[in-house]
Structure 1
Amino acid sequence: MATAACAVLLLVGLCAVLGPPLLGDLAREQNLRAVNLRPFSTGEGWEFVLGSDSLGRSVLARLIVAAGTTMSVAVPAVLLSLCVGSLWGMWAGFHRGWRETVSMRVADVILSFPSLLLAVVVLYVFDPSVANIVAVLALARIPVYLRTARAESAELRSRLFVDAARTFGTGNWAIIRRHVAPIVLPTLLTVAAVDFCFVMLTESSLSFLGIGIQPPDMSWGLMVAQGRQELQNAWWTAVFPGLAIVGTTVAMTVLAGWARIAGDPAQRWRLTVPKRGRRGRGAAGAGKEHA
């Protein structure tokens, strides 16, 4: 399952990187002779293998180009919130005291607003550009990493190896960088993998509501919003972008689950048991046949 998830995410990544420069013009090209072509219609060319919309634009080309826009929002938002929230949380958890109290209250205030509602309010007031969408989504997700890093670092500060480092005169930030961060990072990366799904779905929801990515740019959520008006006549214009969202989300969730198990020494054995079990069953079957 993890291999299949990696293959799906690799395909999405290639589409996001290579799609806009290679198929950007094709995704915006209108062909009035090929309006609302059904999927697997190749009479007008290979680009209509997934059909076309009401303006004769290739759904396949738009799907590939939209992957770049969707990833250009989700990836920076997750990386920004991961970096800020992790550093902030390790700083607050390692020093404790008023730093921890103030940080937790700030996180509680941000978390008191649902992420989608906060994004809707901010983007309604400001211009719904890609930069603003990334900023508001990153702001809404910072508390997730802040609380996780704070809890992990607060527990690690009382360990013997941290006391030993203090005894030898190592500074607090050096201890965090050398001893705390390497232990906390696997947990934070697992959280980031799951959070990537949430951010991508939120961006798609914002585009669906009309306050996310705006035309002539395209994203998967915007394609679903535009295609829902033609579900009876051209269902494929909304279904295929929806399947892309679901497929990417499921693949990232599977990969996050695998990474959580692989990064935990206490559960890593679960990744090897099925193989041994298959060998054992195969050996037992061979023994019976020989007998």
Structure 2
Amino acid sequence: MSEGRIVIEETEEEVPAANGPEDAPGPTPAPKSPPRWWQLLGRDRVAAAGAVVLAVVLLVALFGRLLIGDRAQRQDLDASLRAPSLSDGFYGLLGTDVLGRSVLARLIDAAGTTLSVAVPAVLCSLVIGSAIGLWAGYHGGRRESVAMRVADVILSFPSLLIAVVVLYVFSPSALNIVLILAVARIPVYLRTSRAEAAELRSRLFVDAARTFGTPSRQIIHRHILPIALPTLLTVATLDFCFVMLTESSLSFLGIGIQPPDVSWGLMVAQGRQYLQTAWWITVLPGLAIVLTTVSATVLAAWARIATDPAQRWRLTLPRKRRGASAAVPPEMIP
């Protein structure tokens, strides 16, 4: 009996110690806020490098002409076809063309011309195509059929061929190139936004908004557009590369940007006959086109993952764990 009492007493003494203030659970830690987009971009070196390249190109296109003045058109026949060197000053860093004009200054001037064609064309086709596609996909029926048939008719003709024919009939200019490329690329956004709206119109939150009498325009603007916008922006980033390459191709063929204006494609066309003796006239603008398009493609791939809540967690992993080994989120791994 005495032994039993001793055991009971020891047990009773241990209970308050276990429930004392020292062993009490601490406050629940606050959940971590999701990383910002710039934090996710900083963890991906390739995408960050692409963003830096695009930012530099954009800044050069916006402010470069204010710094170089008329250097891009200034001729000096005594300095014709000089190779890149540091002895000729800053503007001789990338050499000169056959008329003695600075290739560096012309690259800066051409960046503004190229982006002034590509960016408006992409924005116009994005806005018009997305608006028609969301409207047709949400309402369905005959409206959707008519919109899709119009898109099929435009897509049945190659956009480059349409641009060649139209610019051959009318005078080649930057405005005509923007209009032609914008119309030719509208079906891309129309089909994408139509598919997104057709899938979202049967969701529960859309049915609830429709039940409460919300107008169709507000449902599309408040509920469908925010979900479809990341996909549309990703498509627009990729389409920017296509439009820029198309403009360069038209300028190379001689029916795009016309002198005295200059674009990267026009610089490649003007320097192709001096490729063996003055490679920098053609190679450097071609390299600018390649770097810009590759950077935009890489950034579009990163943006597609960063804007998808189901895939964003991949960007938070260390670089060694990305790829096939990271098939499921870390919290689901046993």
Deviation at 1:119, TM superposition (A): 0.6
- What secondary structure does 2:276 align onto? coil
Residue of 91, 111, 117 corresponding to 2:155: 111
Residue equivalent to 2:68: 23
Distance of 1:24 and 1:110 partners within structure 2: 41
Deviation at 1:21, TM superposition (A): 2.5
Regions of 4+ moved over 4 Å: 275-278
Residue equivalent to 1:270: 314
More displaced 10-residue stretch of structure 1: 201-210 or 263-272: 263-272
Distance of 2:162 and 2:94 partners within structure 1: 36
Deviation at 1:56, TM superposition (A): 0.5
Distance of 1:46 and 1:198 partners within structure 2: 32
RMSD, matched Cα: 1.2
Residue equivalent to 1:251: 295
1:124 aligns with 2:168: yes
Residue type of the alignment partner of 1:35: S
- Deviations 1:116-174 (CA, angstroms, capped at 9, x unpaired): 10110111111111110000000010000000000000111111111100111101001
Residue of 257, 265, 269 corresponding to 1:221: 265
Distance of 2:299 and 2:250 partners within structure 1: 25
Whichever of the two has the greater Rg, that structure is 2
Deviation at 1:42, TM superposition (A): 2.8
Residue equivalent to 2:8: none
Deviation at 1:209, TM superposition (A): 0.3
Residue equivalent to 1:195: 239
Residue of 51, 54, 66 corresponding to 1:6: 51
More displaced 10-residue stretch of structure 1: 169-178 or 22-31: 22-31
Residue equivalent to 1:66: 110
Residue of 252, 255, 279 corresponding to 1:211: 255
- Deviations 1:152-199 (CA, angstroms, capped at 9, x unpaired): 001111111111001111010010011000001010000000000000
More displaced 10-residue stretch of structure 1: 260-269 or 154-163: 260-269
Residue type of the alignment partner of 1:142: I
- What secondary structure does 2:318 align onto? helix
Q: Given that residues 107 and 143 in structure 1 are in contact (C-alpha distance below 8 angstroms), is that contact kept between their aligned partners in structure 2?
A: yes
Query: 5+ unaligned residues in a row in structure 1: which ranges?
Result: 279-291
Residue equivalent to 2:89: 45
Residue of 133, 136, 150 corresponding to 1:89: 133
More displaced 10-residue stretch of structure 1: 41-50 or 206-215: 41-50
Residue equivalent to 1:288: none
Distance of 2:281 and 2:216 partners within structure 1: 55
Residue equivalent to 2:208: 164
Distance of 2:155 and 2:104 partners within structure 1: 38
- What secondary structure does 1:25 align onto? coil
Length-normalised TM-score, structure 2 = 0.81
Alignment of 1:274-285 (within 5 A): 274=318, 277=321
Distance of 2:69 and 2:115 partners within structure 1: 15
Length-normalised TM-score, structure 1 = 0.93
Deviation at 1:276, TM superposition (A): 7.9
- What secondary structure does 2:71 align onto? helix
Residue equivalent to 1:155: 199
- What secondary structure does 1:28 align onto? coil
Distance of 2:226 and 2:204 partners within structure 1: 16
Residue type of the alignment partner of 1:17: L
- What secondary structure does 1:218 align onto? coil
Alignment of 1:131-142 (within 5 A): 131-142=175-186
- What secondary structure does 2:72 align onto? helix
Q: Report % sequence identity.
A: 71
Distance of 1:120 and 1:147 partners within structure 2: 24
Deviation at 1:24, TM superposition (A): 3.9
Residue type of the alignment partner of 2:94: L
Query: 5+ unaligned residues in a row in structure 2: which ranges?
Result: 1-45, 323-334
Distance of 1:148 and 1:275 partners within structure 2: 32
